[in-house]
Structure 1
Amino acid sequence: MNLLFQLAVFAFIGFSFLLLISVPVVFAYPGGWTETKLKTPLFSGLGLWFLLVLIIGILNSFVV
């Protein structure tokens, strides 16, 4: 269970870094937020980020 928790935290950190880079890039596109076609991947990424937060919260209750 410890290994699964550590892998989830590592994925969370890596994905957070990916979003840290990609969100400003999406907003910097010409035409801004309204005309970009990157909304769907960005919202999917945010959903996955929240899912990782929930998974880490659940796994945290099993780690001693």
Structure 2
Amino acid sequence: MSIDVPERPDTPCVAVCSTTFDEICRGCGRSVLEVANWVFMTAAEKNNVWERITAEGYPRRKG
């Protein structure tokens, strides 16, 4: 029996939130609206965000 393992986390959040001060989060690269609406977004919408932020070098994880 095989288990499907997601290729990426459920959210791009890296707990380095800066959306209180910035329009684009310095940690994950999402906009304020994307962060606020993430749980309501469809899988396709989330995938579009993931593709954009990874192309831009996000999420920025330490380590």
Fold shared by both chains (TM-score > 0.5): no
Which bracket does the TM-score occupy, shorter chain normalised? 0.3 to 0.5
Greater C-alpha Rg: 1
Q: Which has the higher contact order (CA 8 A, sep 6+)?
A: 1
Query: Structure 2 length as normaliser, TM-score?
Result: 0.33
